[in-house]
Amino acid sequence: MQKVSPSLSIVIPAYDEEEGLPVTIDDIIKNLPMYFFDWEIIVVDDGSTDKTPVIADRYAKKYKNIHVIHQSNGGYNKAMIAGIKAATKDFVGYFQADAQNLVGDFTKCYRLLPAYDLVMAGRGKPHDYSFLRLGFHYGGFLLYRILFGLTYDDPHWVYFWKTKEVQKLTLDPKGGVFLLVESLVKFRRKGLRIVETTSAYHPRIGWEQKAIKPKVILRTMKSVFRLWWQIIIGKV
């Protein structure tokens, strides 16, 4: 693929991801220059208790376009917001730290960046999800259709935002992965250009799945209905 002209920041929120983080960063270092002339990685260490901070700092010392933000544990949303605010390139994308996202999975997205303000990549059916997690997965999408009129196939995977537009948003710091959908809803309401395409899916490296903990689900649901109510009363 020919390199595209927009520059790209990749935000990696990381909490106790010592197994997957090196795989993710090594893949970006090796392969992202095939697609972009100008790029950076922003690792947000969200108060990790394992070797994640040491690993991230080691990469930052070796590569000038890798930056690390250390913060106390505040959850996925606070980490993502910190990374988005720190982005300096034309577009800012989000990769998970557990090696589920590899550079080569998103070639369709890279081609689309010059023409859109938000490019979304869906993953298809996650083949390693439990029945319970699939229920949350598709139940959430149905709820978004009902509350916000969203008809996208997979609004919970990887996003590439135009940096100057996403940095204008006030995003809920407590809503878990709903931050992605919150940004999508707000981009739609501003009339910005949005497109969805497909990508590959890889099982995570590491054991713990953090997104389906009861307290995370509860915070996410509160964020969902908070945004819905803000729309109802005209504050969004």
Predicted local distance difference test score (pLDDT) of residue 224: 93
Q: Are strands 91-94 and 158-162 parallel, antiparallel or unpaired?
A: antiparallel
- Which residues are bridge partners to 85 per DSSP? none
Judged by phi (left if over 0) then psi (alpha if -120 to 50, else beta), residue 128 lies in alpha
Predicted local distance difference test score (pLDDT) of residue 210: 54
Predicted local distance difference test score (pLDDT) of residue 15: 95
Global pTM reads: 0.89
Q: Cα–Cα distances in Å, from 37 out to 10, 14, 40, 89, 121?
A: 14, 25, 10, 11, 22
Predicted local distance difference test score (pLDDT) of residue 212: 60
pLDDT tens series, the chain, 236 aa: 777 779 999 999 999 999 999 999 999 999 999 999 999 999 999 999 999 999 999 999 999 999 999 999 998 999 999 999 999 999 999 999 998 899 999 999 999 999 999 999 988 665 555 555 555 656 778 999 999 999 998 898 999 999 999 999 999 988 778 999 999 999 999 999 999 999 987 777 755 555 566 777 788 889 999 999 999 999 88
Predicted local distance difference test score (pLDDT) of residue 209: 55
Predicted local distance difference test score (pLDDT) of residue 16: 95
Predicted local distance difference test score (pLDDT) of residue 128: 56
Predicted local distance difference test score (pLDDT) of residue 236: 85
Predicted local distance difference test score (pLDDT) of residue 137: 58
| Three state DSSP letters for 129-142 | CCHHHHHHHHHHHH
Contact 92, 160 (CB under 8 A): yes
Q: How many residues does the chain have?
A: 236
